[in-house]
Structure 1
């Protein structure tokens, strides 16, 4: 956690961990653990948290950052979508969640300024996030595969060439947070 100025937070999408309601108790556990981790980074000099707007971990992380701004007004939230019109095909409730975090954000943009055309846009997005952050915080457990696996593979390869920290919060970590 050595002087990371910009942190990317990602992890499971809500459906991957069986969260379908905004009042699911799992969300409070995840947000609590995210908050503790982000505070650790803040105390070491963190300035920005970036998310890509995915449902689940990234929306909850954005909400945590918004809460933390009360105690850490210098903290900034950035949303960097992979492509233009990201989420436009989602249902009304999910689009509402995206609009809510956009209102909380200090910066909103997309890596590709075109609507979705190909997986190359997703690869460019991952590359952009790795090159513009010093670390990633992932709610992810290798024993429970999900789409975050793709980002983790790319981040691991990146970290073999550049100083880059990858912090995983596993299912055990989430469970242990309930016990402590």
Structure 2
């Protein structure tokens, strides 16, 4: 049974989203909400992200909204390293701080500031080890940074059970917003 769900996907800049009120965000959040609701109804207890801008930040907002109907659901941010986001601009650091206030758990895999790519690899392994499924807003035909996580999930699936659902561009384009 899936109890811990990892949600990730494109960064906002990879989707061409540079403003909070971009109409694309409404569509993305609707898709995320439908898929996450489905996972919750199937038994998921924890939604985990790594705090990146884009899909992961919007996921935190969506889960915060879902807590109205599912108050038992928990969410956490698990950063790759200590001081994650400290080099971001002030506006983005504020958004990250607001996200941290919405979640039930905040931690980092490495308790040192970022120093080398091994921390990212260890973080990815940790996240896959502590979840049973992933929901990715990702289209393999349109690679982005999520490519590395997707490839790691495919490798994990070769040796064991790990559920992965993709929200691809077709699904996003076919989603309508109720007026």
Normalised to the residue count of structure 1, the TM-score between the two structures is 0.97
Decide which of 129, 132, 147 is 1:134's aligned counterpart.
132
Structure 1 stretches of at least 4 aligned residues deviating more than 4 Å after TM superposition: none
Q: Deviation of residue 131 (structure 1)?
A: 0.5
| Structure 2 residue 138 is the aligned partner of structure 1 residue 153 | no
Decide which of 77, 97, 107 is 2:75's aligned counterpart.
77
Q: How does 1:58-73 map to 2 (within 5 A)?
A: 58-73=56-71
SS in structure 1 at match of 2:176: helix
Residue 100 of structure 1 is matched in structure 2 by: 98
User: Separation in 1 of the partners of 2:20 and 2:9?
Assistant: 17
Give the gaps of 5 or more residues in structure 1: none
Q: Deviation of residue 179 (structure 1)?
A: 7.9
User: Separation in 2 of the partners of 1:20 and 1:72?
Assistant: 31
Does the C-alpha gap of structure 1 residues 157 and 99 become closer, same or farther in structure 2, counting only changes over 3 Å?
Answer: same
SS in structure 1 at match of 2:148: helix
Normalised to the residue count of structure 2, the TM-score between the two structures is 0.97
Q: Deviation of residue 178 (structure 1)?
A: 2.2
Instruction: Provide the alpha-carbon RMSD of the alignment.
Output: 1.1
Residue 37 of structure 1 is matched in structure 2 by: 35
Please list the CA deviations of residues 90-137 of structure 1 after superposition, one character each: whole Å capped at 9, or x if unmatched: 011111111111000100000000000110000000000100001000
Give the conservation status (yes or no) of the 8 Å contact 2:27–2:177.
no
Decide which of 124, 142, 145 is 1:144's aligned counterpart.
142
Please list the CA deviations of residues 60-113 of structure 1 after superposition, one character each: whole Å capped at 9, or x if unmatched: 001000000011000001000000000000011111111111000100000000
Query: How many residues get paired?
Result: 178
User: Separation in 2 of the partners of 1:75 and 1:154?
Assistant: 26
Residue 175 of structure 1 is matched in structure 2 by: 173
Give the gaps of 5 or more residues in structure 2: none
